[in-house]
């Protein structure tokens, strides 16, 4: 039985390509010689029995590579850390039959699975290794396809470490999940552990890679649970500033038991592109609903959701009505559900099901829907379980996923425009198994975790944690000023109980970037228009208009335009009531209106060219700003 000593690092897709290029051009890695070895594509099928192998941090797999098949059994080395594991594999530890016999003996001693009699050789030769393992009660399968590129690091002609660049795809029920990228260092010479430590340091320094300790088997379980759990309820947490997000993320990255009694398992990083569709008047938004096409990892999904139940002060939960179609689904079979939900809203008509996702955009346009908002999401996620020391957690239900925890960096953009707004948020989503009916137990577990997690977050952020029930579409429309808030939106924000300031408060997105800020231009143009209107109204030919001043057509016309510009400017300044500066803007508008009302009645003479031009320029500026924002709408 061999002892495997390895170190693992996680890298992003962009960094993975850079590292591959860097290694390909090297002849030395620090003081060590480096040479390119081979490129392999391998398919691993992992087996388990009611989670008993995973609970012991064991793994059992069949690896198919080229024309070879290997059975590998791994478990932690008694005297080693997380980087050392005992390994039984053919060839090396015997033939396929001999290794299968060793594995069967170890499992039988732990009462794992079932026995297939003493003739393992007959079972292997008659039905194959995979069927034999299934006959032994190892019926939970997780498949991982890995493209591996190898380099050998050595010194003075002696091979010391095998460096692997792995791109792994965890196959789920629907399609391959988002790939994960890793660097693995495996010690070839067991006497050179100091060299492995030095190479580990160099990889961390040179490539900024993050060390991880989960095996591919453990990652496969997390992926399966992430993809197989249905999201039943969700709540968003928002913090006061980016430093607070970074502080919490840093703690979660290094502390798997961030909260006592729970285990936080890091899932794969995800990059998501959502295109939301709505009517011209954004009727879906006004009714707390949205429809979107999501693109992730080359896969598309159409989803309709409506906010069905907003968070109460005691629970902070939100429930949603939802219907989805994946690219792998039969679109025609599920299209009727989408249409029945959409036609509840005015200006949305029915249309025949599209032949494929490629025709989906045109079909939605025929229904009266058009692209309304583009959202880019960079996501870090965790799967949260109850912590268990049991070797049979599936039997007790203690390892059942309770929550998906998502930290999102979000960029909102009106379709076809350069203007953007950015936001960060944390989403806590309660989950249930997709084959189970709704479980009260799961809901209670979700609420219990939510209370503990929000309290823990409050410690890290000095109490600046706010809970809200909303969706990215609603946040983006409001942050970009594309539509006035509907009544339900203004009441969807709540605060945690221990927040020192108390009361509800909206956390604005970061200042929009990219292109001209038309909202700022609208404000300044409206302000100039108010001033021009004030001057035009108060500067009659002889006296103020209401004090019997000049009744000549130019004087009356200009003063009338001034009054109209005053009203229009006031409306423009107060259009977005949710903005943090709206109270100030509203105060300015009211003050100017009051001054104008008084000035109209006062005797005033000496209208001049400056007053005329100020009023006209104000009108042009406001018209231009409205034209730009209307096009973005």
Mean of pLDDT values over 465-492? 80
Q: Give, in order, the Cα–Cα distances in Å from 136 to each of 84, 97, 107, 119.
A: 27, 14, 9, 12
Least confident span in 43-52, 391-400, 548-557, 561-570: 548-557
* 193-207 helix and 13-24 helix, angle to the nearest 10 degrees: 120
d(CA 574, CA 306): 29
User: Which range has the worst mean pLDDT, 499-508, 540-549, 567-576?
Assistant: 499-508
pLDDT in tens, 408-421: 999 999 998 888 89
**pLDDT band at 81, cuts 50/70/90?**
low
**Is residue 324 pLDDT above 80, yes or no?**
yes
| DSSP collapsed to 3 states, 149-214 | EEEEEEECCEEEEEEEEEEEEEECCCCECCCEEEEEEEECCCCCHHHHHHHHHHHHHHHCCEEECC
What per-residue confidence (pLDDT) applies to 142? Answer: 85
CA distance 588 to 528: 12
Give CA 368 to chain center in angstroms. Answer: 29
Position 512 scores a pLDDT of: 38
For 145, list phi and psi in degrees, rounded to 5.
Answer: -100, 125
Distance CA 617, CA 525 (A): 8
More confident residue, 83 or 577: 83
Contact in structure between 274 and 293 (CB atoms under 8 Å): yes
What is the average pLDDT score of the chain?
Answer: 77
Higher pLDDT, 509 or 464: 464
Kind plus residue range of the DSSP H or E element containing 566: helix 553-573
Residues 370-380 have pLDDT tens digits of 999 999 999 99
Task: Summarize the confidence of residues 379-394 as an average pLDDT.
Answer: 78
Q: What is the mean pLDDT of residues 581-587?
A: 54
Between residues 342 and 82, the one the model is more confident about = 342
What pLDDT is attached to residue 250?
Answer: 87
Q: Specify the pLDDT at position 508.
A: 44
Lowest-pLDDT choice from 4-8, 14-18, 151-155, 500-504? 500-504
| Lowest mean pLDDT, pick from 132-136, 200-204, 295-299 | 295-299
Instruction: Give the Cα separation of 186 and 82 in Å (integer).
Output: 13
The predicted model gives 66-72 an average pLDDT of 88
pLDDT digits (tens, 9 = 90+) for 34-53: 999 989 999 999 999 888 88
* 614 pLDDT higher than 60: no
Residue among 561, 533, 472 at smallest CA distance from 275: 472
The three-state secondary structure class of 538 is: helix
Report which secondary-structure segment, H or E, holds 620.
helix 609-632
266 or 628, greater pLDDT:
266
Q: Say yes or no to pLDDT of 210 above 90.
A: no
Kindly report the pTM of this predicted structure.
0.68
How confident is the model at residue 184, as a pLDDT?
A: 95
Q: What is the Cα–Cα distance from 415 to 375, expressed in whole angstroms?
A: 9
Over range 243-264, report the average pLDDT. 87
Tell which wins on pLDDT, 406 or 545: 406
Whole-number Å distance between alpha carbons of 185 and 196 = 8
Nearest-angstrom CA–CA distance, 585 and 277: 32
**pLDDT recorded at residue 275:** 96
Q: Is residue 232 scored above 60 in pLDDT?
A: yes
Q: In this predicted structure, what is the pLDDT of residue 497? A: 30
Q: Are 132 and 123 in contact (CB under 8 A)?
A: yes
- pLDDT value at 246 more than 70: yes
Question: Each residue of 579-612: b (16+ CB within 10 Å) or e?
Answer: beeeeebeebbeebbeebeebbeeebeebeeebb
Judge whether residue 513 has pLDDT over 60: no
- Name the band, by pLDDT with cuts 50, 70 and 90, for residue 507: very low
């Amino acid at each position: 039985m061999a002892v495997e000593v390895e170190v693992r690092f996680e890298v992003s897709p962009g960094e993975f390509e850079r590292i591959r290029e860097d290694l390909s051009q090297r002849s030395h890695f620090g003081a060590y010689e480096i040479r390119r070895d081979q490129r392999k594509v391998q398919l691993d099928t992992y087996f388990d029995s009611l989670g008993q192998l995973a609970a012991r941090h064991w793994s059992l797999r069949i690896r198919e590579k080229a024309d070879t098949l290997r059975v590998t059994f791994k478990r932690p080395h008694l005297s080693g850390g997380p980087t050392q594991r005992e390994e039984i594999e053919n060839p090396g530890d015997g033939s396929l039959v001999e290794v299968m016999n060793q594995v069967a003996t170890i499992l039988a001693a732990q009462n794992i699975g079932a026995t297939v009699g003493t003739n393992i050789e007959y079972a292997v030769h008659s039905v194959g290794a995979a069927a034999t393992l299934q006959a032994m009660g190892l019926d939970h399968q997780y498949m991982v396809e890995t493209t591996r590129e190898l380099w050998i690091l050595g010194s003075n002609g002696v091979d010391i470490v095998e460096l692997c660049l792995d791109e792994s795809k965890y196959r789920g029920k629907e399609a391959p999940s988002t790939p994960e990228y890793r660097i693995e260092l495996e010690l070839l010479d067991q006497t050179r552990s100091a060299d492995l430590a030095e190479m580990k340091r160099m990889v961390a320094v040179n490539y900024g890679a993050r060390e991880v300790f989960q095996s591919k088997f453990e990652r496969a379980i997390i992926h399966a649970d992430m993809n197989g759990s249905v999201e039943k309820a969700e709540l968003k947490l928002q913090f006061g500033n980016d430093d607070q997000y970074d502080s919490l993320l840093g703690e979660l990255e290094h502390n798997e038991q961030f909260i006592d009694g729970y285990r936080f398992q890091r899932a794969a990083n995800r990059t998501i592109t959502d295109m939301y569709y709505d009517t011209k008047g954004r009727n879906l938004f006004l009714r707390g609903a949205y429809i979107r096409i999501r693109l992730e990892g080359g896969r598309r999904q159409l989803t309709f959701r409506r906010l069905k139940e907003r968070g109460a002060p005691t629970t902070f939960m939100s429930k949603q009505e939802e219907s989805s179609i994946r690219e792998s689904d039969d679109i025609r079979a599920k299209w009727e559900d989408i249409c029945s939900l959409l036609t509840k809203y005015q200006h949305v008509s029915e249309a025949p099901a599209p032949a494929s996702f490629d025709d989906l955009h045109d079909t939605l346009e025929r229904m009266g829907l058009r692209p309304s908002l583009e959202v880019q999401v960079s996501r870090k996620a965790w799967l949260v379980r109850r912590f268990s020391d049991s070797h049979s957690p599936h039997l007790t239900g203690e390892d059942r996923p309770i929550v998906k925890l998502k930290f999102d960096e979000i960029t909102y953009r009106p379709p076809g425009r350069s203007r953007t707004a950015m936001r960060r948020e944390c989403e806590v989503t309660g989950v249930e198994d997709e084959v189970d009916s709704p479980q009260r137990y799961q809901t209670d577990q979700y609420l219990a975790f939510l209370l503990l997690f929000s309290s823990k977050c409050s410690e890290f952020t000095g109490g600046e944690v706010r809970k809200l029930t909303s969706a990215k579409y609603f946040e983006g429309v409001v942050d970009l000023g594309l539509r006035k808030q509907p009544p339900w939106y203004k009441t969807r924000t709540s605060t945690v109980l221990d927040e020192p300031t108390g009361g509800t408060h909206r956390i604005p997105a970061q200042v929009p970037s990219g292109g001209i800020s038309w909202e700022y231009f609208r404000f300044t143009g409206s302000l100039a228009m108010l001033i021009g209107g004030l001057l035009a109204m108060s500067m009659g030919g002889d006296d103020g208009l209401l004090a019997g001043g000049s009744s000549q057509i130019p004087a009356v016309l200009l003063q009338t335009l001034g009054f109209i510009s005053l009203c229009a400017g006031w409306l423009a300044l107060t259009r977005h009531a949710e903005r943090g500066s709206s109270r100030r803007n509203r105060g300015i508008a009211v003050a100017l209106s009051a001054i104008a009302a008084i000035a109209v009645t006062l005797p005033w003479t000496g209208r001049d060219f400056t007053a005329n031009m100020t009023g006209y320029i104000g009108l042009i500026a406001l018209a231009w700003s409205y034209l730009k924002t209307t096009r973005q709408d």
